[in-house]
Amino acid sequence: MKSPSVIAALACIAFLPPAFAEPPLEATAYAQQIVSSHGGAEKLLRIVKFSETYYMGGDLTKKGTDRTSIIQAPTLWYVGKTERVSKSGKGSVCQDIWMWTLVPLTDPNTKLEIVPDIAVDGKLAHGLKVSGTIEPSINAFFDASTQDLVRIDWRGQIFTFSNPVEVDGTRVPAKCVLEGKDGKERIRTELHSIERLQKLPADLPKPEE
């Protein structure tokens, strides 16, 4: 017979809050949990317009740069009315933003694997390796309590996300700090407005074929 102290300990473990729960052993099930906690696949952002202020090199004493973008990840990124990325460069620029939307987690061609937990800003984060639709693969980490995206490791760079905001039935981080391969801060950005679009505006130029 177990002693009362052992029984009490087991009871405590059984009712630990989600922040201490283990992620599912099956990666697809965990991805489905994440998507569900963000309103479901139909609520994720496919075409989005946002305004931001970003700072290069981590120097916040200098004036930031304001810009407004319209993005249909992983293929199109308009700044103003200019398509920002050439066809040859899309894979290196738009796929990280696509991961920010969480849409890759719903793509049937995406391959998912559980990766070891890490700590982000002192909080436990569960990880998924995302490949197939994103190459090279991305390691994406999610707050163990809220399931919000908190970090992406990709191409030797680290994207740290914070300040999740509600947008038309889903959530996305509004702040991001990008560290380069040398560990130094390269870009810091804050989104001021985020809007779902049903389709690309008609006055935007056609993308490069």
- Band (206; pLDDT cuts 50, 70, 90): confident
* Predicted TM-score (pTM) of this structure: 0.85
**8 pLDDT exceeds 50?**
no
**13 pLDDT exceeds 80?**
no
Q: Which residues contact 4 (CB under 8 A, 6 or more apart)?
A: none
More confident call, 61 vs 155: 155
Q: What is the mean pLDDT of the chain?
A: 87
pLDDT single digits (tens) 147-180: 999 999 999 999 999 999 999 999 999 999 999 9
Give all domains of the chain, ordered by start, each with its CATH number: 23-196 (2.50.20.10)
